[in-house]
Amino acid sequence: MDQFQQRVFLGFVAVATVAMAWIASPFYGAILWALTAAIVFAPANAALAKALNGHRNTAAGLTLLGIIAMVIVPAGVIGSLLVEEAIGTYQDLQTQPLDIGVTLETLRHVVPEPALAAIDKYALTDIDKLEERISAFLTSGLRIVAEQAVNIGQSAFSFVVGLSIMLYLTYFLLRDGRTIAQTVSSRIPMAPAKRRALFEKFITVIRATIKGSIVVAIVQGLVGGLTFYFLDIRAPLLWGVVMGMLSLVPAIGTGLVWVPVAIYLLATGDVARGGALLLVGFFIISMVDNILRPILVGKDTRMPDYVVLISTLGGIGVMGINGFITGPVIAAMFMAAWDIFSEDKDLAKAA
């Protein structure tokens, strides 16, 4: 009878947990980013609390104000400028389309013969069709950005509600995060050592993802955008943001933007700007990742590049922008779980 009652109770716990997750699912993004912010800024909050003689409420409030000043406000300003620039570029292309045909003909005269042979092999010599494809790609991409800007405006209320919930949760997670983590950890039916290892991995991966990916993306996008601005290349903010996003792709990343632009400038006779962009691209933009990432993340916390790539892009594909955090965390939990499982199997064999 006791076993039956225990099973009924466990079933009730499972149903109640699933129901709570279902109720909270509309605010999944707000909860995820609140948790991320609390984990990333926990050391700063702890230092403030210590300096304020243990006044956790004040420390959490000051940390939250710091998050708003350093992250929320700049992101809002950049986002509004980005949308304005994208819409303006799209409108310019509509009224004054690029003469891609002339550009492609110019490029054909400076491209080496082996490259031309490869182009001929893949049937890319039909200038009209290629021009149509490139124009469609550029205009459709910018149109999507413009349409999303309209959608954001229409759903501004939902965005404000989500942001408010995120900031509200961040405050309490900063103030009571350690207590909440200890409570949750003690309720998980798992050996303490395994529980501790998974929690440490979870926190490490979130901090590594933010420091090693977002910071690097911001720096690479900033350097790329400023380079485009000083070289007087159209839409520097837009291309800077694109380079920041592409920095998530190992090995090539930002080169998907600045390399073709540099080749175009050189091919059209603008040697000074093309050469300057190549120098900055090779020796500054590309080196940011190699220099900053090991310093910010450290070798012990890095996952293989192919795992980072697959988990990040897969997470974004499944969950949107929230997958940027969720994807690598799931991958890290997967690897940690299998490491613990393998260690247990090895210990069992040794015994």
Segments forming the whole domain that contains residue 290: 191-345
Per-residue pLDDT, 130: 47
Question: How many domains does the chain divide into?
Answer: 2
Per-residue pLDDT, 171: 93
Q: Are residues 133 and 180 in the same domain?
A: yes
Confidence of residue 127 (pLDDT cuts 50, 70, 90): very low
- Domain membership flag for residue 2: no
Q: Are residues 307 and 227 in the same domain?
A: yes
The owner of tokens 């292309």 is 93
Contacts 24+ apart (CB under 8 A), 334-339: 335/303, 335/307, 336/197, 336/198, 336/201, 337/198
Domain boundary among 184, 206, 238: 184
Q: Are residues 165 and 226 in the same domain?
A: no
Q: Are residues 210 and 287 in the same domain?
A: yes
Structural tokens at position 42: 């926990």
Domain boundary among 140, 160, 184: 184
Q: Are residues 180 and 35 in the same domain?
A: yes
Q: Please write the tens of the pLDDT for every residue from 268-298.
A: 777 888 888 888 888 888 888 777 766 666 5
Domain boundary among 184, 216, 245: 184
Q: Please write the tens of the pLDDT for every residue from 217-262.
A: 888 888 888 988 898 887 788 888 888 877 776 556 788 788 888 8
Q: Are residues 247 and 321 in the same domain?
A: yes
- Rounded Cα–Cα distance for residues 40 and 300 (Å): 18
- Domain membership flag for residue 262: yes
Q: Are residues 139 and 219 in the same domain?
A: no
Whole-angstrom CA distances from 131 to 75, 104, 107, 136 are 35, 8, 13, 8
Work out the average pLDDT over 185-189: 76
Q: Are residues 129 and 216 in the same domain?
A: no
Q: Are residues 102 and 58 in the same domain?
A: yes
Contact 258, 266 (CB under 8 A): no
Q: Taking 90 as the threshold, does the pLDDT of residue 105 lie above it?
A: no
- Domain membership flag for residue 180: yes
Q: What is the dihedral of CA 28, 33, 36, 38, to 10 degrees?
A: -110
